[in-house]
Amino acid sequence: MTSQIPVTVLGGYLGSGKTTMVNHLLRHADGVRLAVLVNEFGELAIDEDLIEAEDDDIISIAGGCVCCSFGSDLSGALMEMAQLDPPPDHLVIESSGVAIPSAIVGSVSLLDGFRTDGIVIVADAETIEANAQSKYMSDTVLRQLSDANIIVLNKTDLVTGKALAATLDWLETQNPDVSVLKAVQGAVPMAAVLDRFAAQPATSGPHHHTENLEMTVLTPDNPVDVEKLAQELASDARGLVRAKGFATAPSGQKMLIQVVGNRWDVSDAADHMADGIVCLGYKAGLS
């Protein structure tokens, strides 16, 4: 079976900090060949020290990453990325501030060779509630939040603790099952938003990433109901942001489990893969 390129859709209203987060991802790609697709280059200010070369609609980034402008032809840009040699390990589509992420996911799902890895919405902790109440932008903002598998609540350094707690409570009313990551300057754990990092366990026990997030490995001792396990890992009670790994079904078939926020997926895997699921989540949920 041909390997599919995972695609993360990065959304959020204007000024939320999407570009800052993209630059963070590029700076911390750590050898992962990351491709970033943006509607127009004018909307994406890549840090100059990251740029190695510019050629028409493609910017080459240090470490093997690339950025590509797709204009009105997202499908064409995706297929061009797939033809790169070697192809990217992961694609990030940075949608415009007024785009609906689920519509982009719909376009990706029509193409062979790609799979949606999740929708990450960046929200400005200082303005998200006000924007959601605006008669001009509320529909778009609320739809973006409802589409999210993960919400990155950015600019948390600009609000007080009491206001931040109130915003977190409000977000829960908008999308009760979503995972929320608090961030400053778009800095989030790479394992939370990129498929390639999700499968990298800590080398010696649980490892702290940010705030009270930890990574650990769940290893089933016996064959399990894999779909039931994946659904449990994606439940709000577990507090997981992300999980990825392998487990054996009662039939003996090896299965790949992937969890991104409140979304889960199970698919067939090669028989030689060792059982073990790397889990990134809040400390209480991993205990």
Domain ranges, residue 262:
199-286
242 in the same domain as 115: no
Give yes or no: residues 107 and 84 share one domain.
yes
User: Which range (67-71, 84-88, 208-212, 233-237) has the least confidence?
Assistant: 208-212
State pLDDT tens for residues 157-169. 999 999 999 999 9
CATH number of the domain bearing residue 277: 3.30.1220.10
- 131 shares a domain with 43: yes
Q: How far is CA 196 from the centre of its chain?
A: 11
Same domain for 90 and 216, yes or no, is no
CB 243 within 8 A of CB 233: yes
Instruction: Compute the distance between CA of residue 43 and CA of residue 8 in angstroms, rounded to an integer.
Output: 18
Q: Would you place residue 5 in the very low, low, confident or very high pLDDT band (cuts 50, 70, 90)?
A: very high
φ, ψ for residue 69 (rounded to 5)?
-90, 130
Whether residue 216 sits in one domain with residue 151: no
CA 92-97-100 angle, 5° bins: 75
Return mean pLDDT, the chain: 86
pLDDT of residue 251: 96
CATH number of the CATH domain containing 78: 3.40.50.300
90 and 35 in a single domain? The answer is yes
Tally the domains of the chain. 2
Judgement on whether residues 205 and 177 belong to the same structural domain of the protein: no
- Return the ∠ at Cα 239 (arms to 237 and 243), rounded to 5°: 115
Who has greater pLDDT, 30 or 148? Answer: 148
Residues 28 and 162 in one domain: yes
Q: What is the mean pLDDT of residues 250-259?
A: 93
Q: Are residues 160 and 20 in the same domain?
A: yes
Residues 241, 120, single domain; the answer is: no
Which of 193, 220, 254 is the endpoint of a domain? 193
List pLDDT tens digits, range 193-251: 887 776 555 443 444 345 567 888 889 889 999 999 999 998 865 678 888 899 999 99
CA distance 68 to 39: 8
